[in-house]
Structure 1
């Protein structure tokens, strides 16, 4: 589900879960476990297998699983993205293909983002589901004022468009992506580990404070909307439209 390799003390985590690395309960549960297993690595590179980094949440599982599945899924989504966002060591995303919705959030949770192809963006509203608080604040930290347009006008950005708003830091040819990501990760290891970890905590403190303030009021409403019968119908219609457009 998540393959781990080591390059001179840098851990490479590769999402390997179905054709597009869709985020389901099992993959999200595996993310914090994989990060804990490489806690002593000098840095982490996160990438995907196949043609996608991650095409986002497995919407069919949401539609079919109903409230019982969503009640487990949303906390797992929060924990996976927050654990990646707050990992104390340097984390570089090597975005090898499409990074959509939750996949975009996973990339945004990393310290630096390199991209070699595909599209990236937030498609939650197009699919008819609200934005959970933790992913929203991670995205706000990553792109700042560009967030409103990303959320409210859901579309897919090309790598060039993503770089223009700071969502991607470097564009790389596919055959150079991993090498470039390892190089950037190595560059982030210049500072002592405790110094780097403190800087990350300081930089992420406003985002964490917004999460903590918003979640008690926002999360019940998010859960209710994700679990509703209307959302199930909307997701099925959205998935059908995607199939027709292929």
Structure 2
């Protein structure tokens, strides 16, 4: 489900869950558990690179699980999804996303939670089409996108709901740089190592916490019964199923698991 390789102080965390690394309850819990383990101040890991196995970084939430599980699954899944996002967002060491393919919806948010994002050129797409699926953003995802893109950029990305080619994503600020697919991981590791060696670990951790302080204060205060209700409604009224049917039929880059 998650593979971790540590080489010379850099942990490469690879999502390896199904065909497109869809975010379900088990993967979200595994992400949070893995990231919290890597955040040990006294541990040997100096920085983290997050990437995906296969052709996708992550194609987003496993919508089939949401539809099949209904209200009970939604009530358990959404907090786990937010926990996974926050564990990446708040990890006190440099975190670099090596976006090796599609990073859709939750996959895009996961990349946005990292400190630096590098995407392979090619056929992968990145974006946040949640509203096109018919579900609202969990508050954690909304805050992370606003942090990564600024309020104007986040508003445009969220209401547009488009998935972008790598070059367009770079122009929009969804990613920070492009790489050849063959050198993506090496480039991400080099950036992570540079961030870890150029900045003292305690100064990096403290400054990262400062930058995220207001976001975390807001997240700690929020409750999301309306988000849960709207996701449950979407799981049962046919809109998620209709999106899945449209996506499969169109040959679009999103898969049945994604938004």
- Which interval holds the TM-score relative to the shorter structure? over 0.9
Would the aligned equivalents of 2:31 and 2:84 in 1 still touch at CA under 8 Å? yes
Equivalent residues in 2 for 1:36-75 (5 A)?
Answer: 36-39=36-39, 40=43, 41-75=45-79
Instruction: Please give the alpha-carbon distance, in whole angstroms, between the structure 1 residues aligned to 2:142 and 2:237.
Output: 22
Show CA shifts across 1:103-133 (max 9, x none).
Answer: 0000000000000041100010111111110
Report the CA distance shift for 1:92/1:98 in structure 2 as closer, same or farther (over 3 A).
Answer: same
Equivalent residues in 2 for 1:117-132 (5 A)?
Answer: 117=121, 118-132=124-138
Instruction: Please give the alpha-carbon distance, in whole angstroms, between the structure 2 residues aligned to 1:221 and 1:34.
Output: 29
Whether 1:202 and 2:210 are equivalent positions in the alignment is yes
Report the CA distance shift for 1:198/1:44 in structure 2 as closer, same or farther (over 3 A).
Answer: same
Q: Please provide the CA RMSD for this pair.
A: 1.2
Instruction: Please give the alpha-carbon distance, in whole angstroms, between the structure 2 residues aligned to 1:133 and 1:18.
Output: 27
Shift of 1:170: 0.9
Instruction: Please give the alpha-carbon distance, in whole angstroms, between the structure 2 residues aligned to 1:75 and 1:3.
Output: 23
Residue aligning to 2:226? 221
Report the CA distance shift for 1:187/1:227 in structure 2 as closer, same or farther (over 3 A).
Answer: same
Shift of 1:229: 5.7
Shift of 1:231: 5.1
Q: Which runs of 5+ in 2 are unaligned?
A: 252-259
Would the aligned equivalents of 1:24 and 1:73 in 2 still touch at CA under 8 Å? yes
Instruction: State how many pairs are aligned.
Output: 243
SS at match of 1:130: coil
SS at match of 1:18: coil
Show CA shifts across 1:63-99 (max 9, x none).
Answer: 1100000011000011110111000010000000000
Would the aligned equivalents of 2:70 and 2:235 in 1 still touch at CA under 8 Å? no
Instruction: Please give the alpha-carbon distance, in whole angstroms, between the structure 1 residues aligned to 2:235 and 2:176.
Output: 38
Equivalent residues in 2 for 1:164-243 (5 A)?
Answer: 164-189=171-196, 190-213=198-221, 215-216=222-223, 219-228=224-233, 232-243=237-248
Shift of 1:134: 0.5
SS at match of 1:228: helix
Residue aligning to 1:139? 145
Shift of 1:230: 6.2
Report the CA distance shift for 1:237/1:193 in structure 2 as closer, same or farther (over 3 A).
Answer: same
Which residue among 70, 76, 87 is the counterpart of 1:83?
A: 87
Would the aligned equivalents of 1:109 and 1:138 in 2 still touch at CA under 8 Å? yes
